[in-house]
């Protein structure tokens, strides 16, 4: 599962724990602003994740306010869940505002495998060249028309001139030139709604600091995976896991990241 594609060199030269901890420190210091156009089930957890790491979230989806909020933000997250008329109208203006300010935006094409209009809209969004696309295997397959593999992830990233972060039991990140697999995380993450959506907001916050989507995405997934492992040791199940996850993110330091990091 985690074999790198032959054509893509491993990113062995990056000290991931150091990089992730550095981005986390800068995020806490800067109070990085992320505007999230995200789904109804993700709004609270997304905002609380950003607050737990010292960021500054905003969440409006109103089409006539989105420009003001996206312009103020350091990065924009576009999540296609619960795609109602307001969200549909807000998304292109949000992306336009981010691009006009040369700020990164991140796409989370939730459930494009389940809804044809959503898949069509995701393809239109891709024309705006997100800094990172974060998806799961089924969403990747619907978007790219290929089975997920390190090769197909790398090739799809190259075709889009973007970074693809495919999350699952092992997370794969590629920008078409480099590839990294992150083995951190915990199964309880799949028993909490919108956990992946919220983690994508951390990718957005890191991308505001580190414009290379590859580095931002892999660092954010490492931070989230380590925090999930810390939290799972304290939690009694999927109900106590999200509070413990936010507590763990809030206190996370480089020593914890280094002790637990498993990248390949």
Asked if 187 interacts with a second copy (CB under 8 A), we say no
Nearest to 132 by CA among 194, 245, 208, 18: 208
Question: Which residue in 137, 212, 247, 260 binds a second copy (CB under 8 A)?
Answer: 247
If the CB atoms of residues 67 and 149 are measured against a second copy, the closer one turns out to be: 67
Shorter beta-carbon distance to a second copy: residue 64 or 147? 64
Which token pair is 42? 């993700």
Cβ proximity to a second copy, 53 vs 180, nearer residue: 53
- Among 18, 65, 120, 253, indicate the residue that binds a second copy (CB under 8 A): 65
Cβ closest to a second copy, residue 218 vs residue 230: 230
Q: Which is nearer to a second copy, 62 or 129 (CB)?
A: 62
- Work out whether 245 is an interface residue with a second copy (CB under 8 A): yes
Helix boundaries (H) for 185-253? 195-209, 213-234, 241-251
Give the pair of three-digit tokens for residue 260: 């637990």
Dump strand ranges (E) for 33-93.
Answer: 33-37, 56-58, 75-79
* 58 is a contact residue toward a second copy (CB under 8 A): yes
CB 106 within 8 A of CB 200: yes
Q: Which of 20, 83, 107, 257 binds a second copy (CB under 8 A)?
A: 83
Q: Of the candidates 253, 208, 263, which has an alpha carbon nearest to the alpha carbon of residue 227?
A: 253
Tokens of 160: 């889009």
Which residue in the set 130, 148, 213, 242 belongs to the binding site for a second copy (CB under 8 A)? Answer: 242
Nearest CB to a second copy, comparing residues 81 and 104: 81
Return all residues near 196 (Cβ < 8 A) that are at least 6 apart: 108, 134, 136, 167, 189
Strand partners, 58: 35
- Do residues 170 and 192 lie in contact, with contact meaning Cβ atoms separated by under 8 Å? no
**Using the rule CB under 8 A, is 169 a contact of a second copy?**
no
Among 41, 141, 158, 170, binds a second copy (CB under 8 A): 41
Residue ranges in contact with a second copy by CB under 8 A: 39-41, 43-45, 47-48, 51-52, 57-62, 64-65, 68-69, 72, 81-86, 111, 114-118, 190-194, 234-240, 242-251
């Amino acid at each position: 599962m985690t074999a790198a594609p032959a054509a893509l060199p491993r990113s062995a030269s990056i000290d991931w724990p150091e990089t992730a901890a550095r981005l986390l420190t800068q995020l806490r210091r800067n109070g990085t602003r992320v505007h999230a156009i995200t789904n109804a089930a993700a709004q609270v957890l997304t905002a609380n994740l950003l607050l737990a790491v010292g960021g500054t979230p905003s969440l409006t989806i109103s089409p006539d306010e989105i420009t003001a909020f996206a312009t103020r933000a350091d990065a924009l997250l576009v999540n296609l869940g619960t795609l109602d008329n307001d969200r549909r109208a807000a998304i292109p203006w949000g992306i336009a505002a981010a691009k006009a300010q040369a700020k990164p935006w991140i796409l989370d094409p939730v459930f494009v495998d389940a809804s044809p209009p959503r898949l069509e809209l995701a393809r239109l969004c891709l024309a705006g060249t997100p800094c990172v696309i974060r998806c799961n295997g089924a969403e990747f397959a619907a978007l790219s028309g290929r089975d997920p593999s390190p090769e197909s992830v790398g090739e799809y990233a190259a075709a889009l001139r973007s970074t693809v972060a495919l999350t699952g039991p092992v997370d794969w990140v590629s920008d078409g030139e480099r590839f990294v697999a992150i083995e951190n995380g915990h199964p309880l993450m799949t028993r909490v709604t919108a956990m992946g959506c919220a983690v994508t907001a951390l990718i957005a916050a890191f991308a505001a600091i580190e414009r290379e989507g590859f580095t931002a995405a892999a660092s954010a997934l490492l931070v989230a995976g380590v925090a999930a492992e810390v939290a799972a040791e304290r939690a009694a199940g999927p109900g106590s896991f999200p509070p413990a996850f936010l507590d763990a993110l809030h206190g996370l330091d480089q020593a914890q990241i280094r002790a637990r990091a498993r990248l390949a």
